Amino acid sequence: MYTNEQLNAIYGSKIGMEFEFFANEGLDEVKRSLSQALNKQIRVEEKAHSEFTPSDEIFKLEPDNSGGSGMIELVTGPMPFVESKLIIAKTLKWIRENGSTNERCSIHINVAFDGKKLGPGTNVSSLDIGKFVLNFNEEAVYEAFPNRRDSVYAKSIKFIVPLSGMTQPSPEKRLWKNYMFVTEKYYGVNFSKLPKNYIEFRYLGGKDYEKKYNTILNMTEHFVLSLYESLVDPVYNEHDLKILDSLLERHRSVIESYKTYSAFKTKYPKIKLMVDLNTYDQIVETFYPKMREKIFELLTKAGLREGLINYDADTGKMQLKNAELMKCFEISGIDIVDCKIQGNIIGCDIFSTELINSSMFECNLFGATDTIDSKIEDSYVSRHVAVKDSYVFGPRGVFSGDMEGGIFRKGRATEFAKFENTEIIEIEKI
């Protein structure tokens, strides 16, 4: 049962929704039928992520090829919670009767508050991200939608590390600006919407989500209350500080261990450091200060505990080899060789590596690399790279690999590219 304050928060919230689904008819018929079912005006847009901003009276319907050529998306404007309940119920009913969903389909919930009803303290743009992340019960969401736990589009937000590996914020400076949190779009919560005074919850979805009205409604209330409580009580309480201190303690151990090369060797005997492929301690120790910050990122953000790290003294770039990183929040700006990774990879050259349920952005994938159930954006994929059941898109990307299943949404492909049972939406042959 909710308290009166919680009920006021729920009914003082403003909810916007984004429904991804497949329809049995074309866009014009979907528009007519949905408009009648929802008693709302609906605009049809030609492209995804169109500039038109929907309101509580005029929604938009547009193609969303992230799930294939037949996927469409209904986007509403923000509306009072009571009305959003009805729209969710009617939309899900319409999908059950006139369409379908698969594992690539999502429903996004955008949450804001009516400041006139709840006061200025509920301005979402003032959210302390750290407070929210520490308090949010993410496990309850994954229990309700277990198929989304390892989704590349709804990754966990439970990631906090200090901004710098050389310093630890003192207890009186436990502010979110001293730490690094997830800020990319493809996590369970999209915090990039904060300047617009709302946040987007991306956890919900999967095959047959249209049959889960009660669960979706419960999760929406969970999102609202979690956000509200973090806003009206922004002070870090004893429980928050206990969680934060445990994280700090873990990172403090990392910091102490890597301040010097000798300390690092003692703490991480399974991580071998090299400089220009030389393993001489004197040489490695000389260059160790230049390697240290990137090593901190690999230890904290990528979860590295075993493998080889080589520092190229000429380029200042590092190579990682023979590592298994299955809970990698982010790895960037290095060469990756003979590894196994599940996570978020940015701006890396990747060789002979197994990538599972990962997200690649502006990367180069080279021979003998296998990519499964992943998202590849604006990246170069060379010959002899195997891509299976993945999603490839981005106008700056070039594809020359072998792709089986999945969706090639948009990009360039060379004569060497091979596709088998792949849905190709838009391709430029080069």
The secondary structure of residue 108, as a DSSP letter, is E
Q: What size, in residues, is the chain?
A: 430
Task: Based on the fold, state whether residues 230 and 259 are members of the same structural domain.
Answer: no
CA pair distance 300, 330, nearest whole angstrom: 9
62, part of any domain: yes
Which structure tokens are listed for 242? 């206990």
Is the confidence at residue 174, as pLDDT, over 80?
Answer: no
Task: Based on the fold, state whether residues 140 and 270 are members of the same structural domain.
Answer: no
246, part of any domain: no
244, part of any domain: no
Is the confidence at residue 382, as pLDDT, over 80?
Answer: yes
Last residue of a domain, one of 238, 269, 290: 238
Structural domain that includes position 161:
4-238
Reported for 157-164, long-range contacts at CB under 8 A and 24+ positions apart, including other chains, are 157/133, 157/181, 157/182, 157/187, 157/188, 157/189, 158/133, 159/133, 159/301, 159/329, 160/130, 160/133, 160/134, 160/244, 160/247, 161/247, 161/251, 161/300, 161/301, 162/248, 162/251, 164/293
Task: State the pLDDT at residue 171.
Answer: 46
Task: Based on the fold, state whether residues 173 and 303 are members of the same structural domain.
Answer: no
247, part of any domain: no
SS3 15: strand
Which structure tokens are listed for 32? 């007519």
> Tokens 């492909």 — which residue?
413
Q: Which of residues 259 and 182 earns the better pLDDT score?
A: 259
Number of domains the chain is built from: 2
Which structure tokens are listed for 43? 């605009």
- Looking from the CA of 338 toward its CB, the CA atoms found within 13 Å total 6
> Which range among 47-61, 173-187, 297-311, 387-401 shows the weakest confidence by mean pLDDT?
173-187
Task: State the pLDDT at residue 119.
Answer: 85
Last residue of a domain, one of 238, 267, 292: 238
**Cα angle value 134/136/142 (rounded, 5°):** 125
- Reported as a pLDDT band with limits 50, 70 and 90, residue 301 is confident
- Reported as a pLDDT band with limits 50, 70 and 90, residue 49 is confident
Closest listed residue to residue 136, CA positions, set 199, 74, 44, 73: 199
Q: Which of residues 238 and 172 earns the better pLDDT score?
A: 238
Task: Based on the fold, state whether residues 142 and 52 are members of the same structural domain.
Answer: yes
Percentage of the chain modeled with pLDDT above 70:
91
Q: What mean pLDDT do residues 86-95 have?
A: 96
CA pair distance 89, 355, nearest whole angstrom: 38
Task: State the pLDDT at residue 172.
Answer: 45
- Reported as a pLDDT band with limits 50, 70 and 90, residue 104 is confident
Last residue of a domain, one of 214, 238, 262: 238
pTM of the predicted structure, to 2 decimals = 0.80
Task: Based on the fold, state whether residues 187 and 326 are members of the same structural domain.
Answer: no
Task: Based on the fold, state whether residues 46 and 192 are members of the same structural domain.
Answer: yes
Compute, in degrees rounded to 10, the torsion defined by CA atoms 217, 219, 222, 228.
-80
Q: What mean pLDDT do residues 125-148 have?
A: 89
Which structure tokens are listed for 284? 């490695």
Task: Based on the fold, state whether residues 181 and 108 are members of the same structural domain.
Answer: yes
Interstrand relation of 318-321 and 307-311 (parallel, antiparallel or unpaired):
antiparallel
Interstrand relation of 199-201 and 107-113 (parallel, antiparallel or unpaired):
antiparallel
248, part of any domain: no
Task: State the pLDDT at residue 254.
Answer: 73
Q: Give the list of residues 6+ apart from residue 8 with CB closer than 8 angstroms, or none.
A: 117, 118
Q: What is the pLDDT of residues 156-169, one digit of tens each?
A: 888 776 665 555 55
Task: Based on the fold, state whether residues 269 and 209 are members of the same structural domain.
Answer: no
Neighbouring C-beta atoms of residue 101, cutoff 10 Å: 24
Q: What is the pLDDT of residues 247-282, one digit of tens each?
A: 666 666 677 777 788 888 888 899 999 999 998 999
Q: b/e per residue, 412-423, with b = 16+ CB within 10 A?
A: bbeeebebeebe
Q: What is the pLDDT of residues 320-373, one digit of tens each?
A: 999 999 878 889 999 999 999 988 899 999 999 999 989 999 999 998 999 998
CA pair distance 47, 235, nearest whole angstrom: 43
- Do residues 343 and 302 make contact, with C-beta atoms less than 8 angstroms apart? yes
Measuring CA to CA, how many Å separate 191 from each of 106, 124, 365?
Answer: 18, 10, 29
CA pair distance 87, 311, nearest whole angstrom: 56
- Reported as a pLDDT band with limits 50, 70 and 90, residue 185 is low
- Do residues 363 and 378 make contact, with C-beta atoms less than 8 angstroms apart? no
Task: State the pLDDT at residue 297.
Answer: 84
Task: Based on the fold, state whether residues 188 and 213 are members of the same structural domain.
Answer: yes
Task: Based on the fold, state whether residues 228 and 280 are members of the same structural domain.
Answer: no
CA pair distance 21, 151, nearest whole angstrom: 17
Which structure tokens are listed for 149? 């736990």
Task: State the pLDDT at residue 164.
Answer: 58
243, part of any domain: no
CA pair distance 184, 207, nearest whole angstrom: 24
Task: Based on the fold, state whether residues 206 and 287 are members of the same structural domain.
Answer: no
Task: Based on the fold, state whether residues 207 and 275 are members of the same structural domain.
Answer: no
Q: What is the DSSP string of 206-266?
A: -TTGGG-HHHHHHHHHHHHHHHHHHHH--S--HHHHHHHHHHHHHHHHHHHHHSSHHHHHH
